[in-house]
Each structure stands twice: as C-alpha cells, then as structure tokens.
Amino acid sequence: MSINHDTLHIVDHPLVQHKLTLMRVKTASTSSFRRLLHELSTLMAYEVTRDMPVHMVQIETPLETMQAPMIDGKKLVLVSILRAGGGILEGVLDVVPGARVGHIGLYRDPKTLQAVEYYFKMPSEVAERDVILVDPMLATGNSVVAAVDRVKSLGPRSIKFLCLLAAPEGVQLLQKAHPDVHIYTAALDRELNEHGYILPGLGDAGDRIFGTK
C-alpha cells in the first residue's frame, strides 16, 4: 500500500525544520527539547488550523464601524495522547486558548507494540466539533488509530492528527483505518526499527520530554 499525499501535510517551513533538527540531536537537554517542542507546536498550529471557520462580527475601530473575522475557539477540541502529547498541546493552546481539551492515556506494549488505554476524559460536547489529536510520534500507528477509534465514537465533525515525526508504516496504517483523517507532520522519516522506533527519528519522545529513563 502506498501513501496518500492528499491527506498527508508535511510542514516544511524553515523554522519548523530548523527546530526539528535541534530536537533530533541526541545531546539536546531535556529543557531545550521541551522548549523546542513547545515552539514547534505553536508554529505547526498555524498550518493545522488554516481552514478553521471564521464568522464576521461588527466592531468599532477608533475611526469607524467594520465587519471583521473571528474564530470561535470553543468549537475546537484538542485531544492529547498522554504522555508525550502534552508537549504539543501546550504550544497549540498558546495560539487557540479557548479550545476545549480532552486526554487519552495510551502506552505501547513493548512486546506487541499494541496501544493499551489507561485513561479517557473528553469535554462534554464533542459531537459536531472539530477535533485535533496531538502526539509527537506516529510510529506503527497503533496508538493514533486507537485514539481515533475512541474519539470517532463521540461523533465529531472532523478529526485531524498533528505530530512531529511520522514513519511510512504508521501513515499507511492510519490512512487505511481512517482515510478521512488528515495528518500534519514536520517530517516523514525512513522506517521503523525492529522495536518500533522511528529511524532516523529522535528517540523516545516521552522520555526526552520528561527526562525519564
């Protein structure tokens, strides 16, 4: 199966690419890794929200009355896949502070690489809202497919997935399971290794964000 590039958006802005390179370097400290992830997420938020609906409101400038566009941030639901999704969530919330937030706790079983759910908490109104799922890594795709399965059962209007790094295997799995979900990533890396880690990748995102291991 090949990749559908119509629903895969690689954010190739030089600032995004520069910061991603700094994050990949193995000697990057926990604090700089976390800061870069935050900055990168803010930049990528521009792309993933590009087609957000706006409505016109009447305002008074110092000189006259005009109709001007506004978004309704509350219509957006950000869903963070714990743990590592939290790093992206904070950056996106900086630019869409009114968004509602849900969390899904998932970890990969190291042997089977299947996603195991341990937490699920969503805002009360997800039906007919636009959802952006966030997690830095799309490796086998098992975690994001499990997350989309859960969120879809709540009837949102749309779901997008925002990550930092994607492997071809994970993109294909997500596109096969949920062809309607657009994927936004800073890079499409080469492949997975035998432990399901992305190559060349950046290592274990959760461990690098939180300084565990």
The binding site consists of 83, 108, 135-143, 198, 203-205
Assign residue 46 a region: left if phi > 0, alpha if psi is -120 to 50, beta otherwise?
Answer: alpha
Select the binding partner of residue 81 from ligand URA, Mg ion, ligand PRP, none (C-beta < 5 to 8 A, by kind).
ligand PRP
203 binds Mg ion (CB under 5 A): no
162 binds ligand PRP (CB under 6 A): no
Amino acid, single-letter form, for residue 207: D
From 86, 122, 206, 208, residue interacting with Mg ion (rule: CB under 5 A): 206
What residues form the annotated binding site for 5-phospho-alpha-D-ribose 1-diphosphate?
83, 108, 135-143, 204
164 binds ligand PRP (CB under 6 A): no
- Residue 128 beta carbon to ligand PRP: minimum distance, rounded to whole angstroms: 27
198 binds ligand URA (CB under 6 A): yes
CA pair distance 145, 177, nearest whole angstrom:
7
From 113, 203, 204, 210, residue interacting with Mg ion (rule: CB under 5 A): 204
CA-based nearest residue to 78, from 107, 49, 55: 49
**Looking at 126-134, 153-161, 178-186, 200-208, which segment touches ligand URA (CB under 6 A)?**
200-208
CB 136 within 8 A of CB 205: yes
Length of the chain: 213
Structure tokens at 140: 């086998």
From 16, 20, 137, 163, residue interacting with ligand URA (rule: CB under 6 A): 137
**Shortest-Cβ-distance residue relative to Mg ion:** 206
CA pair distance 161, 8, nearest whole angstrom:
10
Residues 95-114, interacting with ligand PRP (CB under 6 A): 106-108, 113
CA pair distance 14, 58, nearest whole angstrom:
37
CB 160 within 8 A of CB 131: yes
